[in-house]
Chains A and B, each alone.
Chain A
Amino acid sequence: MPIFSSVGKYSILMGRVFSRPEKFRVYPQLIIREMDKIGLQSVGIVSLLVLFMGAVVAIQTASNIESGWIPRWTIGYTTRQSIILEFSSTVVCLIISGKVGSNIASEIGTMRISDQIDALDIMGINSASYLILPKIIAAVFIIPFLVLLAMFVGVAGGASIAILSGNVSFADFEYGAQYDFRIWDVAYSVIKTLFFAFIMTSVSSYHGYNTHGGALEVGQSSTRAVVYSIVIILVADFLLTQLLLL
């Protein structure tokens, strides 16, 4: 079964990534550079995404509770819950996977096919750890902040768009958005994010690191990196939801 051999190869690679690193002194700089690439450079797309998600959920909820026996503040409540529980973590991580995953896989894949990884290994540097560890650490550290930002932008910004466009009134939103707020929901989302961040960086790095051939294969690796990251994140989301919410 190819899946078992892939899981095996992935585990061996992760073993090398987390074995004793070369020289601790060079890592902080590498991690900061990755945080910029993975985190700061995704702020724009993430904000844009949740802004419209928030607005759409608010408007959809508004149009679905025309009937009258459901209170209007449900609009604020539903928007907040969907943003905090699912959109800010899972959907945002899926989007980041698309951007960061292809970026990581093509960067590492190009290094592989042009012998740069062999060059590191020959120098006596653990290439897996040197190239992949900073990305994983950076992502696991910075993506939760992106998610917190997404929660805020999604609820506040989404509401503003829905209100300013005249689809929902401020009063409808305000009470619901504060109703029965539990900090655990935020924690739940952030915990999930830690897993997602690890998955997207490690899976994409794996596909890049195991590229063979030329430019064509780099393209294929980067597509595979995104597809696998997304599928695994969705499965993990399902499992984590069972585990954390029950």
Chain B
Amino acid sequence: MKTKCIQKDLIFYLDNELSVEMRTAVEKHLEECADCRSFLAFLQEGIQIIEKEKNPEVTPFFYTRLSARLEEKPVYQTQSQWVRLAQPAFFSLVLLAGIYGGLKLGSNASSPKVYQQATNSAQMLNDFATEPIESFLLDEL
């Protein structure tokens, strides 16, 4: 009789992190289950990409370029930082103005509702700036 599929243990099997008993059970299952064997190969090839791409050659002029950058005045950074902050702020204002204007035009909305919708969109913008929602959810796992 075929044992239960062990796909959820395979990454730990590859990294040699299973107990002896679990390792034996995984190997036994792999002998009899082609689907798990096939996923193991898929997983292994995926993870092995790391070995192929890591430690790339660094361009030979890395230090020369760096040395030139050290002559620059650090002022540029404060400027670009200002632009970075101003741009989202500007677009947020445009967006909120748009939403507010749209709701105003939609006339029959009562004023408390308008206020609530505007706060909701501001909330959404703030959330986006910090963490994408999917990583927030994954964190709970």
A binds B: no
Q: Which of A's residues lie within 8 Å of B, judged by CB?
A: none
